[in-house]
Amino acid sequence: MGLPHDRSHLLWTDVPTTRFIESIDRWTKTLMDDDPSWPMTPLDMRTVAKIIAKEPGILAGQPVLNYLFTKNCRNPNLKWNISEGDEFQVGDAILTIEADGDEILSVERTAMNLITRMSGIATKTSRWVKILDEVAIAATRKTLWGVLDKWAVHVGGGLTHRLSRADALMIKENDL
């Protein structure tokens, strides 16, 4: 097997793999713990919120936001207008969320941080893949958000390369 190679099958089969879900869980918990919010609306007040695109791009992060809202809201209703990996334009309503207002507000900042970062990575990856169509674009193992960044690269058309040190032997000068 030549390098770089793709390991995205370790993140997704027909559904997110355990490895991907565990990474989503760690990152969403960490981000939620770092951004405490307090109820600002009555608990029983159903609210509708939308994520609207401010720039064009490629959507990445749909399974992450599905997990985040499902875990942190009692009965969320999520309506995706753009699918994972699809292009969106300025002004597109990417996602409509219906849930209790205080729950939406408690998740909002984390959701925006995740979807903007992941979609940004997917968008940049897609641009590089189109520009260098005969060159494989792959992420390094040293991505800041690990598996979530790798997933975004995959969604943008790049290769995930190594997900961990165990995936392929790599000898560098400091190993000698």
Q: Please give the radius of gyration of the chain, using alpha carbons only, rounded to the nearest integer.
A: 18
Give the model confidence (pLDDT) of 74-110 as tens digits. 999 999 999 999 999 999 999 999 999 889 988 999 9
The dihedral sign for the CA sequence 155, 157, 162, 167: positive
Does residue 11 register a pLDDT over 90? no
pLDDT tens for each residue of 134-151: 888 888 766 676 888 988
What residue ranges do the domains of the chain occupy?
8-171
Residues 6+ apart with CB under 8 A from 173: none
| DSSP of 59-94 | ---HHHHHHHHHHHSSS-EEEESS-TT-EE-TT-EE
Instruction: Answer yes or no: is pLDDT of 1 > 60.
Output: no
Between 31 and 56, the higher pLDDT residue: 56
Report residue 93: phi and psi, to 5°.
-85, 105
Strand ranges (DSSP E) for the chain?
46-52, 57-58, 77-80, 87-88, 93-100
In this structure, CATH architecture of domain 8-171: Alpha-Beta Complex (3.90)
Q: In what order do the strands lie in the sheet with 46-52?
A: 46-52, 93-100, 77-80
CA distance 74 to 103: 8
What CA–CA distance (Å, rounded) separates 96 from 89? Answer: 16
